[in-house]
Amino acid sequence: MSKRNILFIAAGLPILALLILQIPTVNSRVAWRYEVAKTYVRNVLNPVGAVPTAIPNPTSTTSPASPTAPVTATGTAVDTPIPATPTLAPPPPQASLGSPPYEKQTANNCGPAALSMMLHMFGWSGDQKTISDVIKPVNGDRNVNPDELAYWVHNYAGWL
């Protein structure tokens, strides 16, 4: 085999790998492995050092509170009757909620997966990808805040 053919093969394999990674099912299965490998290499090349000892906080001396003027009464309070609140209907003696369909969580997608399963209890027909495409469009985003989930419910669920 000539050097030219070896060079073409060496250049073609990474390009082929990048093209294969563009397939969504392959990308979703390989992305977390790539993150693990990247973290391992980063820690081998630049290991995490020891955590520094915390500096103790100096004790503060508290000064005695300054005297305040006594509060004088300005008038008497008039008791106003509080209206009675209506009572709720008693709960039924027994209730049964079916469990939502299980949805396997994809990598770093616990919030959208949990929200998706909860919304299925109300008849929603989407999946966690529908939610995560809006609140974390970058697959490497590892953080989903509760306010982002609330934002999605208020703006995209529509019927809630």
Instruction: Tell me the per-residue pLDDT of 6-39, one tens digit each, with 9 for 90 and over.
Output: 999 999 999 999 999 899 889 888 888 888 899 8
Residue 52 structure tokens: 């520094």
The angle subtended at Cα 152 by Cα 151 and Cα 153, nearest 5°, is 95
pLDDT higher than threshold 70 for residue 158: yes
pLDDT for the residue numbered 67: 67
- Map out the domains of the chain as residue ranges: 1-44, 102-160
Round to whole Å and give the CA distance between 143 and 147: 11
**Average pLDDT score, the chain:** 85
List of residues 6+ apart from 134 with CB closer than 8 A:
152, 156
Q: pLDDT > 70: what percent of the chain?
A: 88
Round to whole Å and give the CA distance between 92 and 81: 33
Band (64; pLDDT cuts 50, 70, 90): low
The pTM score is 0.49
Mean pLDDT of the 125-135 span: 91
